[in-house]
Amino acid sequence: MFGDMMSMMGKLKETQKKVEETKKRLDTVLVDESSNDNKLKITLTANRTIKSIEIDDDLLKDKEQLEDYLILTLNKAIEKATNVNETELGAVAKEGMPNIPGMDLFK
């Protein structure tokens, strides 16, 4: 019993280390998103840090339109980055979780 507990604790520590390594790696994974007409392009990391924004000169003439483009495109980019982030971290967490009956947290 005690050996099983120690084994589980070791596995949990190993998983925690892998999760931290994955978080660092996700800082290097870039997610690109563009408006439908490519007048606005946004790049962010899978950890949802904005790396670049490219704005077509036409959008600079209309503040309200630019704001709408930013909201729509940033939300799409954040959603895409969140999906990558959750998929990667979920896979690492699920892989390292001990098999405890009734604890199906990461299905």
Q: Per-residue pLDDT tens for 73-94?
A: 999 999 999 999 999 988 887 7
The pTM of the full predicted model, rounded to 2 decimals, is 0.75
Q: Give the whole-angstrom CA distance, residue 47 versus residue 98.
A: 26
Question: Which residues, other chains included, contact 84 with Cβ-Cβ below 8 Å and sequence gap of 6+?
Answer: 26, 29, 31, 46
More confident residue, 101 or 16: 16
Q: Per-residue pLDDT tens for 45-81?
A: 999 999 999 999 999 999 999 999 999 999 999 999 9
Q: Which one of 2-6, 13-17, 21-25, 100-104 scores highest in mean pLDDT? A: 21-25
Q: Give the whole-angstrom CA distance, residue 46 versus residue 105.
A: 23
Kindly tell me the sign of the dihedral angle through the C-alpha atoms of 85, 91, 92, 97. Answer: positive
